[in-house]
């Protein structure tokens, strides 16, 4: 799918709940991918961590390649790594449909964002909770998506930081529909409505899908999507 078509599809009927595969059963990765796809997932989120930019280590290109072999769904690959510009081609070749770099990991995001776009992938820029929007203002024209982190990156199952909501509201007011807005960290049945009300169109969810007690993946995805759709603000409408 081309970059422009994927952006149009993601805007068409938000919110899009993206299961974060960091918390899936990696011993049965292909089965887990098929299960969330069957449950109604419209895209999947993969967290790449290097033990340098963030304190945790997860996986790299081979896992992205394995997930791509298991599904045709868009893959939202979040690079929480140092020197992300050195790995853009490798991750797009591995199957990334959306590639997000961190503003904190580069001196100037523009060259990396432009390179992602040249590879016909959706260009995302992530910011950590302490990072102010002013720090990425000059890069916004080169982004397709901004990811507002609502936890410190590196570990799952953290508590939601409401600072992300104000950033989402500000970005929606500043850029309207020019940007896709995504939120990641602590998104669950208690926080999802606040996220979509603030303007988030894409919601990365880990524990609330993969570690949600007796609920099936389908039940969790349906509940989160419904809660988010009911609470979307006029500003967040497409």
Identify the burial level of 125 via C-beta atoms within 10 angstroms of its C-beta, where 0-12 means exposed, 13-18 middle and 19 or more buried: buried
- The span from the CA of 126 to the CA of 183, in Å, is 9
Peptide bond before residue 107 is cis, with ω within 30 degrees of 0: no
Which of 16, 20, 27, 71 lies closest to 49, judged by CA? Answer: 20
Q: Mind giving me the DSSP string for 184-217?
A: ESS-STTTHHHHHHHT-SEEEESHHHHT-TT--H
User: Active-site positions?
Assistant: 47, 184
- The span from the CA of 120 to the CA of 216, in Å, is 35
């Amino acid at each position: 799918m081309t970059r422009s078509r994927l952006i149009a599809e993601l805007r068409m009927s938000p919110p899009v709940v993206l299961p974060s595969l960091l918390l899936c059963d990696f011993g049965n990765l292909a089965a887990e991918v098929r299960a969330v796809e069957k449950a109604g997932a419209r895209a999947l989120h993969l967290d790449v961590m290097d033990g340098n930019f963030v304190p945790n280590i997860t996986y790299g290109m081979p896992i992205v390649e394995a997930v791509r072999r298991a599904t045709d769904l868009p893959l939202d690959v979040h690079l929480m790594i140092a020197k992300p510009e050195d790995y853009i081609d490798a991750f797009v070749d591995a199957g990334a449909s959306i590639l997000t770099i961190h503003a904190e990991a580069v001196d100037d995001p523009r060259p990396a964002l432009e390179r992602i776009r040249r590879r016909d992938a959706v260009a995302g820029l992530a910011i950590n909770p302490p990072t102010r929007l002013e720090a990425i203002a000059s890069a916004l024209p080169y982004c397709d998506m901004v990811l507002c982190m609502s936890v410190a990156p590196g570990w799952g199952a953290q508590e939601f930081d409401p600072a992300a909501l104000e950033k989402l509201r500000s970005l929606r007011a500043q850029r309207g529909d020019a940007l896709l807005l995504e939120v990641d960290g602590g998104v669950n049945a208690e926080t999802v409505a606040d996220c979509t009300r603030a303007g988030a169109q894409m919601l990365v969810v880990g524990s609330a899908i993969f570690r949600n007690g007796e609920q099936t993946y389908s039940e969790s995805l349906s509940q989160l999507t419904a809660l988010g759709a009911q609470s979307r603000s006029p500003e967040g409408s497409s």
